[in-house]
Structure 1
Amino acid sequence: MSDGTGGAGGAEAPCGGGEPERSDSLRTFGEVVKAFRKRAGLTQEEFAPRVRYSVPTVASIEQGRRFPPLDFVERAEDVLDAFGALRGAARHLSRQPGLASWFRQWARFEAEAVSLYTYECRVVPGLLQTEGYARTLFTNQLPPLGDDQIEARWVARAERQRLLRERPNTAFSFILEEHLFLRRTGGTEGTRELISHVLDLAELRNVEVQVMPLVRNAHAGMAGPMQLLETPEARWFAYNEGQRGGMFVSERKEVSVLQMRYARMRSQALSLDDSLGLLQQMRGAS
């Protein structure tokens, strides 16, 4: 599904639109973190394990390229004895480069989720996209995007993709329609590269990929794509996206309906082994 990145998939301003806003707020927050870190006499390599994040993640936050997760803010505040400055600065983070405004709330929850489920019928989700596939989506967006906008969207998407490897305890489940690969977005070679990339990610212990076959007489996802996530506090939320905006769903009854549909689709899609077998077959035929 779209991701607020300009190319469906979950976080910047996908195929449907949603113009990302630009702001110095993330860069300012990053400079504040860096100043307090240096005041504490810590390098990024020394600071990262204390806040339980990787060095690349700390670097991205300090450079203003990544929205700081809530637990990062709290841990950094304590580790750096920042007098409440980081908490205060975080409250003013309302914009994220490369992310559509209507996607940012979901992106913050996504960064801390313990489970994340995605069903997509329009494009391969952003978390699974190759750079070539993503840029094809961005360059074909209407109204046309400028080079700087395309670059901002790719940077935001690439940052989000770190979640798959940097959060090994988060369970990622993807259900993808078979026709997404048959469309050959980005050409034959681009599709082969995309399938290989998805197969590589599916080897991660925390990533499951299932394919919904072209022919299926029962399908619980006919109402469209969806995303579901579980927070560390065991709360579930959902996100649905359309052509020009997204909808964050917190009402428990509504989320329960989507959970029921996703569970049914898991039984309707091909098994994990059969899904990977089909993808391997499609890669060879592309």
Structure 2
Amino acid sequence: MTAGEGSNGDNQVEPDPDLRNFGEVLKASRKRAGLTQEQFGPKVGYSVQYVASVEQGRRHPSARFVSKAEEVLDAFGVIQIAAKQLTRRRGLASWFRQWAELEETAVALNTYECRSIPGLLQTEAYARAQIENVPPRPTAQEAEDRITLRLDRQKVLTRTPYTTFSFIIEQTVIERQTGGSEVTRDLIDHLLRCSELPNVDIQLMPTVSPEHAGTDGPFCVLESEEHQWWGYSEGQKAGQVISDPKAVSDFHQQYAKLRIQALNPANSTGLLMRLRGSL
């Protein structure tokens, strides 16, 4: 999952004009209904912080939030219309937007990646090298937008209540040394720090793996805050969010097999340290 991710970190992304407009419409509708943010949040099933972020144009509202807000505020379709005017976030591909929204409030997220380090685990230098390596080369502003958004998404790793993360990454992805040896050393150090988080498991798939359940390519499975499971598959310039229970079940079976075939977290840590030592 790389092309669609755009960018992220602790940096704040400038509010998109369309997000700002939606936030103003929501705020006006809430005030017309005589509700404070503290009163409105529980009625739609979202935190006060979530409501405030949406109203300030800093967060893209989920489809469920839009539907509940329209229902609770009896807004005569105004909120739904404003939602349709939303454009993709700067630095985030339109076909990745729905998955990014699900990711923001996920209960659990399992990721298998064989092409590059997952965006949630990338360093700024690695993200920059990856973005600038793939033609057509983006403009300086486009690259910054993608990097900023990709790093910003990483906040989900440490927010509370914790989301449970599992990552299975091919050893060859690290051995490729995208960006050079120095970038790779910093990347490995970052992966080791992430692996120490209580809610994050990182497993490496050895280069030699005669039995491998991931030969169809990378994918993710996610449990939403409504406890529904979703799948995601991405290819060249396209991504697909999958809700079909049978297809998601297939992903679950693949991931369960991959977890057995990959090195366990402790052995993966040992391999990461050896890879770093060889640089």
TM-score computed with the length of structure 2 as normaliser: 0.81
Q: Summarize deviations over 1:205-243 as a string: whole Å, max 9, x none.
A: 111111001111100001100011112222211111111
Letter in 2 for 1:107: A
CA distance in 2, matches of 1:257, 1:86: 37
The corresponding residue for 1:123 is 116
Q: Quick one: which of 132, 138, 162 aligns to 2:131?
A: 138
Matches within 5 A, 1:164-243: 164-243=157-236
Matches within 5 A, 1:139-158: 139-158=132-151
The corresponding residue for 1:12 is none
Deviation at 1:265, TM superposition (A): 0.2
Deviation at 1:142, TM superposition (A): 1.0
CA distance in 2, matches of 1:234, 1:83: 27
The corresponding residue for 1:261 is 254
When structure 1 is superposed on structure 2, of 66-75 and 174-183 the one drifting more is 66-75
Which consecutive residues of structure 1, in runs of 5 or more, have no partner in the other structure? Answer: 10-21
Summarize the Cα distance change of 1:35–1:237 in structure 2 as closer, same or farther, 3 Å threshold: same
Q: CA RMSD in A?
A: 3.3
CA distance in 2, matches of 1:106, 1:89: 21
Summarize the Cα distance change of 1:63–1:281 in structure 2 as closer, same or farther, 3 Å threshold: farther
Deviation at 1:104, TM superposition (A): 0.9
Summarize the Cα distance change of 1:277–1:35 in structure 2 as closer, same or farther, 3 Å threshold: farther
Contact 1:114–1:231 (8 Å) recurs in 2: yes
Deviation at 1:34, TM superposition (A): 7.2
Deviation at 1:90, TM superposition (A): 3.9
Contact 1:174–1:209 (8 Å) recurs in 2: yes
The corresponding residue for 2:61 is 68
The corresponding residue for 1:5 is 5
TM-score computed with the length of structure 1 as normaliser: 0.79
Letter in 2 for 1:52: S
Task: Percent identity, please.
Answer: 48
Summarize the Cα distance change of 1:6–1:279 in structure 2 as closer, same or farther, 3 Å threshold: same
Deviation at 1:140, TM superposition (A): 1.6
Summarize the Cα distance change of 1:34–1:202 in structure 2 as closer, same or farther, 3 Å threshold: farther
Summarize the Cα distance change of 1:64–1:133 in structure 2 as closer, same or farther, 3 Å threshold: farther
Contact 1:69–1:112 (8 Å) recurs in 2: no
Summarize the Cα distance change of 1:61–1:280 in structure 2 as closer, same or farther, 3 Å threshold: farther
Deviation at 1:197, TM superposition (A): 0.8
SS in 2 for 1:95: coil
Summarize the Cα distance change of 1:185–1:62 in structure 2 as closer, same or farther, 3 Å threshold: farther
SS in 2 for 1:122: coil
Q: Does 1:52 align with 2:56?
A: no
Contact 1:66–1:159 (8 Å) recurs in 2: no
Contact 1:115–1:172 (8 Å) recurs in 2: yes
Deviation at 1:166, TM superposition (A): 1.6
The corresponding residue for 1:163 is 156
Letter in 2 for 1:211: L
CA distance in 1, matches of 2:225, 2:107: 6
Q: Summarize deviations over 1:145-171 as a string: whole Å, max 9, x none.
A: 111111111121122111111244311
CA distance in 2, matches of 1:208, 1:177: 14
Summarize the Cα distance change of 1:186–1:31 in structure 2 as closer, same or farther, 3 Å threshold: farther
When structure 1 is superposed on structure 2, of 60-69 and 119-128 the one drifting more is 60-69
Contact 1:177–1:213 (8 Å) recurs in 2: yes
Summarize the Cα distance change of 1:234–1:144 in structure 2 as closer, same or farther, 3 Å threshold: same
Summarize the Cα distance change of 1:38–1:206 in structure 2 as closer, same or farther, 3 Å threshold: farther
The corresponding residue for 1:19 is none
CA distance in 1, matches of 2:219, 2:210: 20
Q: Does 1:96 align with 2:103?
A: no
SS in 2 for 1:248: strand
